[in-house]
Amino acid sequence: MSAQSLSFARRLNSWYRRHARDLPWRQTQDPYKIWISEVMLQQTTVSAVIPYYEKWIRRFPDIRSVAAAGDQEILKMWEGLGYYQRARNLHKAARMIVGEYDGQLPPRADDLRRLPGFGPYTTGAVLSIAFDQRHPIIDANVRRVFMRWLGKEGPPTTVQDGGITEALLEVMPQRNLRTFNQALMELGALVCKNKEPLCHMCPLHNDCRAYASGMQEIIPLREKKEFVELDVAIAVASRRGRYFIQQRSAQGLLAGLWEFPGGKLEGDETPTQALVRELREELDVEADEIVPFMRTRHFYTRFRVQLHVFTCRFRGEPRPAGDHRWISKSGFKDYPMPSGSAKIVDKILKQC
């Protein structure tokens, strides 16, 4: 290993020993717990993940307990984290691990890549952090650190690898990989931030090309996220103290979750008009006593959704295409819902 590589790792590890956050998944080398944390942390902030991780580990202390759970319980435990395909893949992988690897995560890359949800990042994270193997982990934080350190211009999505893996392997030590990789991710999260990087606190700033050229605020080029604006009318229909919910199909972004009926506004429709039309089309019912209940904004993937929520009563018996229930307020806890629907439930429990 070159002198530069040794210096890089030593400076980074020294900084990490002094500044690493005390996070629950850093108190263990259990491959299962590390796997769960890494899956949850994809597309989700650390502060949001901590309570979900702790709740998950209490309910599912090992892989066998995950494998034995039903699909709906897994989704309910994941409710609010979003990107539900992560939970479905995790569940499928747990069952494969029990069936093929005696309930233990295998310490081999080829075996891990066979499991649902194990791409290069998750495979590298488990092998390096849990098993201390020499595998690179390139998440958004690490990519940003190396784009600045190498002086790579352009947005991360167009740079692709751009020599980052090669450079990372060059400075990666031969041992104590779990510390090195976590230190890199931590540096990106706390110091080499997307906006207003704290270069004066960075252990790598002396040989950072972006810093040397005053480009640290420009590299990497930030892409503006474009949202699709949607307005959706939602019905909270009640009957003798019970509320109507229906299950989404087994395919798609929110597959298998439960929700209140409704749909997108079309053309020049008002929310009330859209609600009446959607209930006729979806459930073959008319709605009476339509009263505004709440409005809330919800974001998911590339959509920015304005939810217009109404209470109402059905005239006739609904005939949805999929599974449905009339449930009491106490029953909501048993049904996994998207975050937008969960906000509605919160208000129902407080006000109705």
Catalytic residue list = 38
Nearest to 60 by CA among 26, 85, 23, 97: 97
Beta bridge partners of 230: 305
Q: Let me know if 2 is exposed, middle or buried by CB neighbors in 10 A (0-12, 13-18, 19+).
A: exposed
Asked whether 223 and 144 are in contact (CB, 8 A), the reply is no
| Closest by CA position to 35, among listed 9, 66, 7 | 66
Asked whether the beta carbons of 106 and 114 are under 8 A apart, the reply is no
List the beta bridge partners of residue 239.
242
The residue whose two tokens read 């890359």 is: 109
What is the Cα–Cα distance from 332 to 337, expressed in whole angstroms?
9
